[in-house]
Amino acid sequence: MKRIKAIYPGSFDPPTNGHLDLIERGSKIFDELVVAILRNPEKNPLFSLADRRKMLEAMTAGFDNVSVDTFDGLTVDYALRVEARAILRGIRAISDYEYELQMALMNRKLQPGLETVFMMPAEKYSYLSSRLVREVAQLGGSIECLVPEIVGQKLREKIDVAHKFEKSAESKGKAASKTKSKSKSGNKKAK
Ligand code: PNS
């Protein structure tokens, strides 16, 4: 019998519990599943490709038939290269459907032999997205139960570094404006 290999492509910036839920479901129906992170130089991701890969590798370490890879260019070309027969995508709500359908049909046009398989994550993740996780974390909200521990930790590290950077830029700015106003008042006296 033919073994069925699938790819699960995405940005994963960062990976969430919703992604993990889908990976688990996919690993049960496909013989092999490759989580494929898009290397997209146009987007300005919060996490580097290496960070996203590390997080996904840690998250999927317990699944024997799941691996993590990166790709650029067309998803269908990558799928062909790794000899996958299906593309796995998650649909959380009707709002995802239109975009996903468009992509699936375009991918079918490009590569008719490749099937897109849609799966639904658990209802408790139906509102969850990487964008919202980034926003909530950056604004100091709790992301507990939304992302795996390793992702939570990396997000906290990123945000701490960003805060430190902001604070040091702020204090440098204050020091610079103090020096400016001192030299201005010095100039006035000299006049
Ligand atoms: O996690 P995302 O951002 O929703 O994933 C979107 C992704 C990576 C699956 C999609 O943008 C994609 O397939 N990009 C690769 C380029 C490509 O094949 N474009 C044509 C899609 S029809």
pLDDT at 188 over 80: no
Least confident of 94-98, 123-127, 179-183: 179-183
Residue with the bigger pLDDT between 188 and 122: it is: 122
pLDDT score recorded for residue 104: 98
pLDDT tier, 41 (very low <50, low <70, confident <90, very high otherwise): confident
Query: What whole-number distance in Å separates Cα of residue 149 and Cα of residue 10?
Result: 20
Which residues, 6+ apart, have CB-to-CB distance to 176 below 8 Å?
A: none
pLDDT at 180 over 90: no
100 CA to middle of ligand 1, Å? 10
Is 43 annotated as catalytic? Answer: yes
The residue annotated as part of the active site, out of 27, 85, 89, 130, is: 130
pTM across the whole model: 0.88
10 CA to middle of ligand 1, Å? 6
Taking residues 98-113, report their average pLDDT: 98
**Atom 2, ligand 1: residue with shortest CA distance:** 10
27 lines ligand 1 (CB under 6 A): no
pLDDT at 177 over 90: no
Give helix 149-190 / helix 49-59 axis angle, nearest 10°. Answer: 150
Residue type (1 letter), 32: E
Query: What whole-number distance in Å separates Cα of residue 138 and Cα of residue 142?
Result: 10
Residue with the bigger pLDDT between 133 and 184: it is: 133
